């Protein structure tokens, strides 16, 4: 069993804490890799990165950083000597974090001349989110992968729940996580929706498509009965569908709903009331008929 991953804040470690070494970062689970700048897995996302000017294309603006991915670098000269690969496990982990909107711990290390670098050691600088990524030719003339990470601001006065059903979002104001589906789409991921998407291998249950992007795959976890007021659905697998963004919007805005016909789930076009396709299902993921009925009642007569 691989060591469990820890996303978000680590309890007991304040933003601004300085550590002497990678070893200390590792002991506190702030950054578990002992040499690499990125801790993470391609299929699960990146937990943390260390910004320390290891790549000359990095840029640090305080509230956001432009961070160069892993690979292709000569450790001695710190120069690129080969192209980077977006499918490299560390880069794919950051792509995953971008796709899923996962929080990433950022640690700044001494060694850059940026004004935000600590005077010594490694400083934990809080939670960031990957907001963009791209490929380009770096200063040394080789292809590099870059990520922009923005610091997540925590508004004052909002409760921060450490033990949340949305574990990725520890440290994010809790009320945000409960808001309507539009916000849900931005937040994108909870442990439950990730689980459902993984069971379906990121294939949409309606159109059967899986949306492939360089470095990963993308799908959305759609709550059948909405989480927020007034629907008060639960974040449990039986209330979640794995959908592509188009079908997620169709489902949330009532263009399609589900119906049980001949003991199988079918997708119905709300306007024509005709069956579009049979819902794709997989073993290990059951759908609660009560939630389906709740959603259908919202939209059945809305044509
Ligand atoms: Zn679809």
pLDDT of residue 1: 59
Instruction: Report how far residue 193's alpha carbon sits from residue 206's, in angstroms, rounded to the nearest whole number.
Output: 16
Longest dimension (CA), the chain: 68
pLDDT value for 111: 76
**For residue 112, how far is its CA from the centre of ligand 1 (angstroms)?**
45
What is the structure's pLDDT at 55? 73
Rounded to the nearest whole angstrom, what is the distance from the C-alpha of residue 279 to the centroid of ligand 1?
A: 10
pTM of the predicted model, to two decimals?
0.76
How far is ligand 1, taken at its centre, from the CA of residue 150, in Å?
A: 30
Q: Along the chain (303 residues), what's the average pLDDT of each consecutive run of 10 residues?
A: 81 94 95 94 95 82 93 89 95 94 93 82 95 91 94 55 37 38 45 92 96 93 88 93 96 94 95 95 96 91 63
CA end-to-end span of the chain, whole Å?
Answer: 51
What per-residue confidence (pLDDT) applies to 161?
36
SS3 per-residue string spanning 1-44: CCCCCCCCCCCCCCCCCEECCHHHHHHCCCCCCCCCCEEEECCC
- d(CA 249, ligand 1 centre) in Å: 10
Residue 283, pLDDT score: 94
Two structure tokens written together for 216:
């990963």
The Å distance, Cα 205 to ligand 1 centre, comes to 7
């Amino acid at each position: 069993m691989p060591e469990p991953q820890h996303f978000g804040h680590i309890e007991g470690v304040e933003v601004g804490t300085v550590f002497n070494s990678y070893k200390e970062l590792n002991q506190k689970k702030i950054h578990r890799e002992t040499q690499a700048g990125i801790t993470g897995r391609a299929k699960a996302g990146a937990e943390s990165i260390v910004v320390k000017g290891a790549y000359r294309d990095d840029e640090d603006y305080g509230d956001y950083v432009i961070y160069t991915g892993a690979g292709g670098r000569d450790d001695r000269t710190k120069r690129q000597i080969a192209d980077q690969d977006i499918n490299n496990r560390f880069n794919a982990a950051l792509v995953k974090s971008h796709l899923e909107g996962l929080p990433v711990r950022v640690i700044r290390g001494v060694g850059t001349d940026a004004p935000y670098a600590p005077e010594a050691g490694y400083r934990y600088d809080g939670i960031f989110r990957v907001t963009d990524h791209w490929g380009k030719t770096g200063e040394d003339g080789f292809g590099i992968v870059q990520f922009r990470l923005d610091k997540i601001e925590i508004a004052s006065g909002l409760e921060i729940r450490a033990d949340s059903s949305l574990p990725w979002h520890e440290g994010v104001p809790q009320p945000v996580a409960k808001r309507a589906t539009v916000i849900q789409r931005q937040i994108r991921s909870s442990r439950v929706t990730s689980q459902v998407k993984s069971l379906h291998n990121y294939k949409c249950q309606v159109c059967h498509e899986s949306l492939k992007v360089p470095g990963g795959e993308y799908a959305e976890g759609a709550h059948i009965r909405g989480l927020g007021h007034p629907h008060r659905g639960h974040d449990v697998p039986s209330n979640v569908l794995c959908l592509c963004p188009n079908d997620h919007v169709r489902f949330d805005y009532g263009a399609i709903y589900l119906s049980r016909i001949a003991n199988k789930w079918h997708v119905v076009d709300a306007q024509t009331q005709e069956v579009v396709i049979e819902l794709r299902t997989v073993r290990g993921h059951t759908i609660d008929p009560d939630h389906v009925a709740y959603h259908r009642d919202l939209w059945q007569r809305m044509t």
